[in-house]
Amino acid sequence: MARKILVTAALPYASGQIHLGNLLEMVQTDIWVRYQRHSGADCTFVCATDAHGTPTMLKAREEGVSPEEYAESCRAAHVRDFEAFGIRFDNFYTTHSPENRELVERIYARLVERGYIHARTIQQAYDEEAGMFLPDRYVRGQCPSCGAEDQYGDSCTACGATYAPSELVNPRSILSGRPPVTRESEHKFFKLGEFESLLKTWMQASNLDRGARNKLAEWFKEGLKDWDITRDEPYFGFEVPGETGKYFYVWLDAPVGYMASFRNLCGPGEDGDSRFQRYFGPDSDAELYHFIGKDILYFHALFWPAVLLGAGMRTPSGVFVHGFLTVDGMKMSKSRGTFITAADYLAAGLDPEYLRYYYAAKLGSGLDDIDLQLDDFAARINSDLVGKLVNIASRCASFVQRGFGNRLGPRLHDPALYEEFVAQREQIGKHYESRSYGKAMRAIMALADRANVWINEQKPWELTKNPKRQDELQAIVTQGINLFRVLMTYIAPVLPQISSKAEAFLRSELNWNEVDEPLLGESIAEFKPLAGRISLKTLKALVETNRGQAAAEVEHSEPIDIDDFLRTDLRVAKIIKAERVAGANRLLRLTLDDGGKGRTVFAGIAGAYAPSILVGRKVVLVANLKPRKMRFGVSEGMVLAAGEGESRVFLLSPDEGAEPGMRVR
Partner RNA sequence: GGUGAUGUAGCUCAGCUGGUUAGAGCGGCGGACUCAUAACCCGCAGGUCGGUGGUUCAAGCCCACCCAUCACCA
Task: Round to whole Å and give the CA distance between 43 and 133.
Answer: 42
CA 46 to chain centre: 17
Task: Round to whole Å and give the CA distance between 564 and 541.
Answer: 25
Site for RNA in 109-128 (CB under 7 A): none
Query: Is the bond preceding 234 in cis, omega lying within 30 degrees of 0?
Result: yes
Site string for RNA, 159-198 (x = CB under 7 A): -x-x-----------------------------x------
Site for RNA in 202-261 (CB under 7 A): 211, 214-215, 218-219, 222-225, 227
Nearer to RNA, 76 or 330 (CB): 330
Q: Which residues of 164-192 are buried (b: 16+ CB within 10 A; e: fewer)?
A: ebeebeebbbebeeeebeeeebebbbbbb
- Contact window for RNA (CB under 7 A) among 443-451, 545-553, 578-586, 646-654: 443-451
CA distances from 93 to 31, 102, 313 (A): 20, 15, 22
Which position among 18, 444, 531, 605 is part of the footprint of RNA (CB under 7 A)?
531
Task: Round to whole Å and give the CA distance between 155 and 153.
Answer: 6
CA distances from 486 to 230, 298, 359, 390, 422 (A): 54, 41, 21, 12, 7
Instruction: Check residue 587 and report its DSSP letter.
Output: E
Torsion sign (Cα): 513, 519, 525, 528? positive
Which position among 72, 90, 154, 472 is part of the footprint of RNA (CB under 7 A)?
154
| Residue 400 DSSP SS3 | helix
Q: Which residues contact 582 (CB under 8 A, 6 or more apart)?
A: none
Q: Does 295 bind RNA (CB under 7 A)?
A: yes
The minimum distance between CB 603 and RNA, in angstroms, equals: 25
- Contact window for RNA (CB under 7 A) among 88-96, 362-370, 586-594, 633-641: 362-370
Which position among 243, 285, 449, 509 is part of the footprint of RNA (CB under 7 A)?
449
Site string for RNA, 12-41 (x = CB under 7 A): ------------------------------
The minimum distance between CB 237 and RNA, in angstroms, equals: 17
Q: How is the chain split among helix, strand and coil, in percent rounded to 5?
A: 45, 20, 35
Nearer to RNA, 184 or 563 (CB): 563
- Contact window for RNA (CB under 7 A) among 94-102, 119-127, 451-459, 576-584: 451-459
Q: Does 627 bind RNA (CB under 7 A)?
A: no
Task: Round to whole Å and give the CA distance between 85 and 5.
Answer: 22
Q: H or E stretch including 252?
A: helix 250-266
Q: Does 533 bind RNA (CB under 7 A)?
A: yes
Which position among 455, 588, 641, 651 is part of the footprint of RNA (CB under 7 A)?
455
Site string for RNA, 373-402 (x = CB under 7 A): x-xx--x--xxx-xxx-xx--xxx-xx---
CA distances from 222 to 19, 29, 160, 294, 300 (A): 34, 31, 18, 18, 18
Nearer to RNA, 346 or 379 (CB): 379
- Chain residues binding RNA by CB under 7 A are 154-155, 160, 162, 192, 211, 214-215, 218-219, 222-225, 227, 294-295, 298, 302, 324, 326, 329-331, 362, 364, 366-371, 373, 375-376, 379, 382-384, 386-388, 390-391, 394-396, 398-399, 438-439, 442, 445-446, 449, 452-453, 455-456, 460-462, 529-533, 563
